[in-house]
Chains A and B, each alone.
Chain A
């Protein structure tokens, strides 16, 4: 097979269910049963080398859990993740050399994470030097001078001055801390980065600095991004392809320009219509979605969006889970397109 036919990352029917176990007493007296929260419920997604896939959805839709499962910070309940066609369940091929760091670091040698909260994602008791040195040491950069030079180069690349090396995270602003987090991710020389809401906790004037930095780094190091956000404008700006998630499932997926120009799923339409706009004509013309996102503990049957949907086609929406229908280049899980 041609290597370009193999996606860099592929998930097949990925599920992550959390089980809440009531205590022994509640079980005995109130006959409490295990509660299953299906945070991610059957997600199949392909991410190709060099592209940015935007994963968008409202809070509680499972986008963060999906990101954690794909970055192996969480273990899937079912389904599989493939890196360049190799199942992560079997581990990455190490080339037979057991002493290489790949064997120990596994997936993190090629995949890294940029976290949402720059205030909690850096250890408050470590200096910047130590934080960035950790991945370098773990990927086998033993020579001290070389390591020092790499740290300084990384710091410079993300726009920080090396004089800050011996300071602690609390001495930096939110934007600067996020830059440090980015430097730590780059230190591993990854191919794939999961960025979970990397700018949502930053001030608006700082967000653009970090987004531009991420875009520059993508070109420079040929990175592939899975960019998770709730901000549709931001996703539009940064992504090549977009997947819209609703209650643990992907509702619609397609190339960014197609999807934003012609949203197919009623949920995508409502989401796009809800964004406040500077455009006078767009003001006041909107679909105001009724109700709120249902709980993932007892998700609605059939299409999970049907209780809030304004374009139901019939009882099939309530009874059967819609598969993906191909409309043009988009994939949409809605019975309207049967």
Chain B
């Protein structure tokens, strides 16, 4: 790993004022992404993983706002850039793939045109139509869309879900970004198609060295794809480590809960252990550890103050007081 990370989030906090109070969707998230790295952000719906991605691209719509922190891309703070400079980075250096491909593609334009659009915006092929089209067809075949010359003129509804997601990946790759943010890219797809898309993303990572952030609720999927995994709960990161550290020696009770609460195919069937209770209301997150009231190892001290990260192994950070003997990060 290089010394300067490609992308570094420092204490990123994004808030949404609502009727019920201020929702801290992303609270104090610090995270780094190295060149060509595959990083997974895992958590349940509403844990802030998608908002983190949108915050990096400054796509938070009002009344939501990024309240604090930094997002350093190659040393430059994205949150301080002018809108014009941010537009240059968005799509060109950092691209995003969303969960629902059909609602992300514009139904009124041919898919090929929509891929060409991102080339045009960033002047990749000097706005030369023939050269752009050639590049689009190259991209389409690269992401596995068969007979791209014919399908250039087809509309999104003529594509299957998997093909739509491939088209979105082609749009994202058009400008050869350094980072691809993939927000639940396979959640709306079937398992066999999911395997195809994940395989495609892995090949892109290997061939181009694109760093990929995979946002998912599926720990197994992240474990298979990523080198490092960050687990999020109620807006905060609770555990970060390499995939082996997080999967094989999970240290946060929530990570362990996530691992034991989903059934797995194994020879002997064991009773799955649900995590009791519900996710806390983000407008009213309890003090201390947000997971405390669902935790079987909760102690009174857990609910007093914010729990810091403890580094229990090199690169393995956990927000849990059971490791308070380790040095706080």
Contacts and interface: CB of A to CB of B under 8 A. Distances in A.
B160 A292 contact: yes
Nearest to B273: A208
Contact of A292 (B193, B265, B272, B273): B193
Contact of A205 (B44, B191, B192, B220): B44
B263 A234 contact: yes
Interface in B162-214: 162-163, 190-196, 198-199
A302 B39 CA distance: 44
A237 B220 contact: no
Contact of A207 (B219, B262, B276): B262
Interface residues of A, number: 40
Nearest to B268: A257
A216 B132 CA distance: 60
A288 B294 CA distance: 39
B220 A236 contact: no
Given A211-B263, A237-B269, A278-B264, A205 B279 contact: yes
Contact of B191 (A207, A212, A230, A260): A230
Given A58-B190, A203-B45, A207-B261, A275 B272 contact: no
Interface in A188-238: 203-209, 211-212, 230, 232-234, 236-238
B196 A289 contact: yes
A206 B162 CA distance: 28
Query: A203, A212, A236: which has the most chain B beta carbons within 10 Å?
Result: A203
A232 B191 contact: yes
Contacts of A293: 190
Contact of A277 (B160, B192, B220, B267): B220
A286 interface: yes
Nearest to A236: B265
A276 interface: yes
Contacts of B72: none
A255 interface: no
Nearest to B260: A208
Nearest to A211: B272
Interface string A238-271: 1000000000000000000100110000000011
B195 A237 contact: no
B257 interface: yes
A207 B279 CA distance: 13
Nearest to B216: A276
Contact of B199 (A176, A257, A288): A288
Contacts of B219: 204, 278
Contacts of A59: 190
Contacts of B294: 205
A59 B192 CA distance: 11
A167 interface: no
A237 B257 CA distance: 17
A206 B258 CA distance: 10
Contacts of A12: none
Given A208-B275, A292-B162, A292-B193, A203 B217 contact: yes
Contact of A58 (B191, B224, B274): B191
Interface in A78-101: none
Interface in B51-68: none
A272 B195 CA distance: 11
Given A58-B190, A208-B274, A277-B220, A236 B263 contact: yes
A110 interface: no
A173 B259 CA distance: 22
A271 B192 CA distance: 6
Given A275-B191, A277-B224, A173 B263 contact: no
B163 A283 contact: no
A169 interface: no
Given A175-B278, A283-B224, A232 B265 contact: yes
A205 B295 CA distance: 12
Nearest to B225: A276
Nearest to A235: B263
18 contacts: A58-B193, A175-B278, A203-B45, A205-B275, A208-B263, A208-B274, A208-B275, A209-B276, A237-B263, A237-B269, A238-B263, A260-B265, A276-B218, A276-B223, A277-B224, A278-B219, A278-B247, A292-B161
Interface of B: 44-45, 160-163, 190-196, 198-199, 217-221, 223-225, 247, 257-259, 261-265, 267, 269, 271-276, 278-279, 294
